[in-house]
Amino acid sequence: MTNKVMYNILLVDDHDLILDGLRTMLAKANEFRVIGEANSGKEAVEKTSELRPDIVIMDISMPEMSGIEATEIIKRKYQEVKIIALTQHESTDYIMQMLKAGADGYLLKNCKRTELIEAIQTVLRNEKYLGKNVSSILAEGLYQSQNTEPVIPENKIILTPREIEIIKLISTDISNKEIAEKLNISLRTVETHRRNIMLKLNVKNVVALVRYAVKHGIADV
Amino acid sequence: MKKTTLRTQLFKRLIVLLLLMSLIAVSGIIVTAVLKRTSNKIVFEYLELNAVQELRLAFNKTFIPAYNYLIYHEPAELLHFRSRLDSTHRHLDYCKTILSKTHSKELLETFENHLAYFENMVLNTENTDFDIIKNRKLIPILDDLIDSSTQMIEQIIFETKQEIDECIALNTTAVTHSSVTIILLSCSVILIGFIIGSLFVRKIVQPLRNLVSFTREVADGNLDVIAGTSSRNELEDLAAAFNHMVDNLRLTTVSMDLFNNILTSMQELVVVVDVDGRIVLVNNAASRLLGYNDDELPGKPVDLLFEKSGAYSRDDVLKLTSLKCIENEYVTKTGQKIPILLSYADLRNKMAELTGFIMVAADITEIRAAERNLEFIRRKTMIDLNDVQEKERLRIAKDLHDGLGQMLTGISYYVENNFSEKAEPGSELSEHIDNIQNQIDAAIKESKIIAYDLIPMQLKDFGLSAAIAVMVDRLNARQKTKFVFSEFNIHSRLDEKLEKALYRIVQEATNNVVKHAQAELAQVQLIKHDNSISLIVVDDGKGFNAEGISHGYNNKGLGLTSIHERVASFNGLLNITSKPGAGTEILIEIYDE
């Protein structure tokens, strides 16, 4: 980036130590100027509308409104403001949530100065930036869900052995009470199983249930 | 007082009576003697009279022969006269001997003289020549003589008659007096006898009557009577024995009253049945608590008190008598059930034969309620403690994750800002600084791990499903067993407490799978219904014997206990199915409040 425009940065974190560190890191960069600091999501929104920065470095876990919520609000009001998440949280949920909220970048706090600068420059180019650890986390998550072979055929994944047992008994057209006595469990338990089965298989009545059972070879009529 | 016997006392009185009767006898004898005397006297007088009258008769009989002789001077007449005269003399001699009174004797003497004169006059004519005229002249003299002699005799007769009359009068008086005396005496004796008898009888009867009335009082229930003991005979012994008996009775009654009091006052229900199961006796507590009147239960079968009829069997109950307390339920008249602790004892008579059973029951409704209450409080306390614990954990986790983590990051930045660029890449200093950064990174990581172990931040920030997903990912990364998480119909987050509890349950259950199951595949399923949420954790591992864990706390390892507790604190349903070699399935359902 060679143009000499000053970009304004708003730092948002509830720990002053972090803010100090960030400020010091950014002080060395000439094109960036820290114009404000906020300690909570609420303050972040306020300061954003007040100071209209170019970039917001947003922490996630803060009191009085989390970074995720603040990001949502800011992005709704001021699309042009770039928001980079800077957080301890390494797990997929946080990453996904932040990105869903509209964050342009996601950095882990243990990143170095160089990475921070790079992130800011990238998002200023209207690109998304994910910290190197972050990408690998996301990639791993993706890999896991892709690579999970259906170890078991679909219907068996859903139904537990006990539930299959109960479906068989339901198909023989005996009452819940008799099922309970047969399996030596309480009536309430039988009713719970029934409910769960019907919901899982998305059937509304016994007829459909039995039909499913027959279709999938669970019960013979 | 010296003791005598009734026999002696009776004896004394009889002797008195005998004496009195002998008095009568004696007076009778006296009276008889007196009467005998007077009547004897009369007899003597009559004999005298008779003799004198015989004399007169004999004398009279001499007249005619005398006159005839004088007139006719027939020797036959003289013979006649002599014989009659002899007879008269005989009678006269007899009279002489018989007459007792002096006056009579004198008169008789006079008569004798006259007779002698008469005799001589007449007899003299024998010797003289018969002179009719002279003899005729003798006749008025003889008449005079005869008159005066007869007069004598008459006088004697008269006097004797008088004597007799007197004696008779005397006799009559004597008789009257004697009768009166005897009657009076007899009456007195009878009266005295009667009085003595009555008094004696009264002496016997009165104490006896008293005793009878006392006995009646005792029969009516008044045990404070004391029989008097003043008879000095067997009645005294009787009274003493009576008092002794009453004392004993009093003691027995006190015991019986005490016994009855105990039965009536005691709180436990006592029911006594015979060998056929018919109720013989119920105490107050039993009647009251079961809602029957005092007389309603005796005679009825004991099955009436229990839910199942036909429950009574003699042999079954005999088996139960060795057990201390059995939990059971009595059914009241209105059908309400009362929980009890029941114990049986057999009732045997003196010959050790079984005559029935005693059932003593303690009403444990309150105990049960207290137990339930205690359990409720315990659960609530546990829930509250758990709550506090969770809050604490969250706080610590937050502090670690955010606080400590951030501080470490701050330090990292500080080092980065103030040292990293100062060091030459590759130099020793640079190496040291990198070292420091690495250490800090490690420390941050460590704090995150610690925080996660306490409570994953995702649970608070994103909810149960997210947290379970993370858990499952971590498990899959580290364990051999494959974990799969499925959720059905979950569109929103649940109650915070519930989420935490369910998370912990899943944590516990998956822990168990990791530690014990040696499974290939384990599934965690969350199913949301309209009014409830179901959680299923199922694995295909070793399984265990789930038979003994349906209610109690004899669980395999503490893991199941805490799951049990958590589910119970939400009044949820927990069902664990497991058989050795057939895997394990934990089913939980918790209803919305």
Q: What ipTM is given for this predicted complex?
A: 0.81
| Within a domain: B239 | no
Cα B72 to the center of its chain, rounded Å: 126
Chain B: closest CA distance from residue A110 (Å): 6
pLDDT at residue B187 tops 60: yes
Burial class (CB in 10 A: 0-12, 13-18, 19+), B329: middle
Q: B380 and B427 share a domain?
A: yes
CB < 8 Å to A112, chain B: 416, 420
pLDDT at residue A221 tops 80: no
Question: Closest to A189 (Cβ–Cβ): which among B414, B583, B587?
Answer: B587
Residue A72: band (very low, low, confident or very high) from pLDDT cuts 50, 70, 90: very high
Measured between CA atoms, the residue of chain B closest to residue A154 is: B486
CB contact under 8 A, B417 and A24: yes
Q: B42 and B167 share a domain?
A: yes
Q: What is the CATH number of the domain that holds B308?
A: 3.30.450.20
Q: B86 and B154 share a domain?
A: yes
pLDDT tens track for B517-570: 888 999 999 999 988 999 999 998 888 776 654 444 444 554 677 788 888 888
pLDDT tens track for A146-186: 665 545 445 455 788 888 888 888 888 888 888 888 888 88
pLDDT at residue B310 tops 80: no
Q: B11 and B68 share a domain?
A: yes
Burial class (CB in 10 A: 0-12, 13-18, 19+), B369: exposed
CB contact under 8 A, B587 and A192: yes
Average pLDDT on B260-281 reads 90
CB < 8 Å to B405, chain A: 88, 109
pLDDT at residue B1 tops 60: no
Q: B343 and B377 share a domain?
A: no
Q: B49 and B162 share a domain?
A: yes
Q: What are the counts of helices (DSSP H) followed by strands (DSSP E) for chain B?
A: 14, 10
| Within a domain: B538 | yes
pLDDT of B144 reads 85
Number of structural domains (chain B) is 4
Q: B345 and B379 share a domain?
A: no
CB contact under 8 A, B417 and A25: yes
Measured between CA atoms, the residue of chain A closest to residue B535 is: A196
Q: Which of B418, B435, B455 is the last residue of a domain?
A: B455
Q: pTM value?
A: 0.58
CB contact under 8 A, A195 and B414: no
Q: Which of B153, B181, B199 is the last residue of a domain?
A: B199
Q: B593 and B463 share a domain?
A: yes
CB contact under 8 A, B409 and A192: no
Q: B408 and B383 share a domain?
A: yes
pLDDT of B550 reads 45
Nearest to B498 by CA among B567, B398, B587: B567
Q: What is the DSSP letter of B517?
A: I
Instruction: Domain of residue B495: give its range.
Output: 459-593
Residue A57: band (very low, low, confident or very high) from pLDDT cuts 50, 70, 90: very high
Q: B78 and B193 share a domain?
A: yes
pLDDT at residue B321 tops 90: no
Inform me whether the C-beta atom of residue A77 falls under 8 Å from chain B C-beta atoms: no
The order of strands in the sheet holding A129-130 is: A32-38, A7-12, A55-58, A82-87, A105-108, A129-130
Q: B161 and B19 share a domain?
A: yes
Q: What is the CATH number of the domain that holds B107?
A: 1.20.120.1730
Residue A55: band (very low, low, confident or very high) from pLDDT cuts 50, 70, 90: very high
Q: Which of B199, B223, B243 is the last residue of a domain?
A: B199
CB < 8 Å to A182, chain B: none
pLDDT tens track for B563-592: 888 888 888 899 888 888 888 899 999 988
pLDDT tens track for B114-133: 888 888 887 887 777 777 78
pLDDT of A69 reads 92
Q: B352 and B484 share a domain?
A: no
Burial class (CB in 10 A: 0-12, 13-18, 19+), A57: buried
Residue B2: band (very low, low, confident or very high) from pLDDT cuts 50, 70, 90: low
Measured between CA atoms, the residue of chain B closest to residue A144 is: B473
In angstroms, the CA B162 to CA B216 distance is 77
| Within a domain: B229 | no
Q: What is the CATH number of the domain that holds B519?
A: 3.30.565.10
Q: Which residue is it, tokens 């876990």? A: A61
Which residue ranges form the domains of chain A, and what is each CATH number? 7-145 (3.40.50.2300), 154-215 (1.10.10.10)
pLDDT tens track for B354-403: 888 898 999 998 888 898 888 888 877 877 888 888 888 888 888 887 78
